Amino acid sequence: MHLTDLTRRYIRQTQLAEIGDEGQQRLSQTRVLIIGAGGIGAPALTYLNAAGVGTLGIIDADRVEISNLNRQILFEEADIGRPKTDAARDALEEQNSATRIITHAHAITAENAAAIINDYDIILDGCDDFSTRHTVNHACVILKKPLISASVIGWGGQLTSFDARRPDSPCYACFVHPDAPNANNCTSGGVVGAVAGAIGSMAALEVMHAALGTPQLIGKIMTLNGHNFDQRSMILMRDSHCPVCA
Ligand SMILES: [Zn+2]
């Protein structure tokens, strides 16, 4: 088979009525930025790359460490010490040579966020700190970009989705106030790799829904308890006093 035989490559998903050839075309034209090539970013990037999303941006300032390998499945032992963006790009290019991979090997900050995010259609935030999440959210509200937000701590994970183009959509700051004291993040807290894998895969799924115009998690937050397999979905309301989107 030719590697460029796109019809055959994606037939298992174009067979689905909700995707079809038209949906595949949309995926191929979609530009997705993944914030953080970590426990969520690795599985999300892998599935989005496999699904034929045309452009994948990766932003991460870190280098691969041995303690990343329990969950960051894009990386191998030989990658330890390399910039995560380089190691991720190499792995993704081997998986799907047609994808355009763009790397940003630095942190996302209040100064650069808008310029970077403006070049993408959909943003997936899988980073591990609250101040970055608020910076990304703020830029997504201003630029009216769909934002999928995923996180994992310990045995648990959560996933939700925002779209500032929709008047009923909350934003991340409606959910976590920018002045709230920072809770644990996975750098300090520990995390089960398979839980990050499950949430990262579901985040990729919501990115696909958003690209196809059928986002499922706006105004809703999905939580997974990897300890007892409880999965819940709760309503997330827009806050009329939100300091960012109100
Ligand atoms: Zn808000």
Per-residue 3-state assignment (H helix, E strand, C coil) for the chain: CCCCCHHHHCHHHHCCCCCHHHHHHHHHHCEEEEECCCCCHHHHHHHHHHCCCCEEEEECCCECCHHHCCCCCCCCHHHCCCEHHHHHHHHHHHHCCCCEEEEECCCCCCCCHHHHHCCCCEEEECCCCHHHHHHHHHHHHHHCCEEEEEEEEECEEEEEEEECCCCCCCCHHHHCCCCCCCCCCHHHHCECHHHHHHHHHHHHHHHHHHHCCCCCCECEEEEEECCCCEEEEEECCCCCCCCCCC
- Please indicate, yes or no, if residue 139 is contained in any of the structural domains: yes
Flag residues of the chain having pLDDT under 50. none
**228: containing domain:** 6-235
Q: pTM here?
A: 0.95
Res 110: pLDDT: 97
Kindly give the distance from the C-alpha atom of residue 4 to the centroid of ligand 1, in angstroms, as a whole number. 43
Asked if the structure places residue 170 within a domain, the reply is yes
Instruction: With respect to residue 138, please indicate whether it lies within any of the assigned structural domains.
Output: yes
Report pLDDT for 126.
Answer: 98
Strand 55-59 vs strand 220-225: parallel, antiparallel, or unpaired?
unpaired
In a domain, 145, yes or no: yes
The answer to whether 212 touches 23, Cβ cutoff 8 Å, is: yes
Report the number of distinct structural domains present in the chain: 1
Residue 187: the pLDDT is 56
Burial category of 160 from C-beta neighbours within 10 Å (exposed 0-12, middle 13-18, buried 19 and up): buried
| Residue 164 amino acid letter | A
* Residue 43 is assigned to a structural domain of this protein: yes
Cα of 223 vs centre of ligand 1, distance in Å, is 20
220 C-alpha vs ligand 1 centroid, how far in Å?
Answer: 14
Tell whether 218 is covered by a domain: yes
47-75, pLDDT tens digit by residue? 999 999 999 999 999 999 999 999 999 99
Length of the chain: 246
Q: Residue 95 is part of a domain; what is its CATH number?
A: 3.40.50.720
- pLDDT for 6 equals 80
Ligand 1 centroid from CA 138, angstroms: 9
Q: Does residue 77 lie within any of the structural domains?
A: yes
Cβ neighbours of residue 110 closer than 8 Å, sequence gap 6 or more: 135, 138
Q: Does residue 242 lie within any of the structural domains?
A: no
Instruction: Tell me the CA–centroid distance for residue 13 and ligand 1, in Å.
Output: 34
Ligand 1: centre distance to CA 9 (Å): 40
CA of 244 to the centre of ligand 1 (A): 5
Query: How far is it, in rounded angstroms, from Cα 142 to Cα 137?
Result: 9
Gap from CA of 7 to ligand 1 centroid (Å): 41
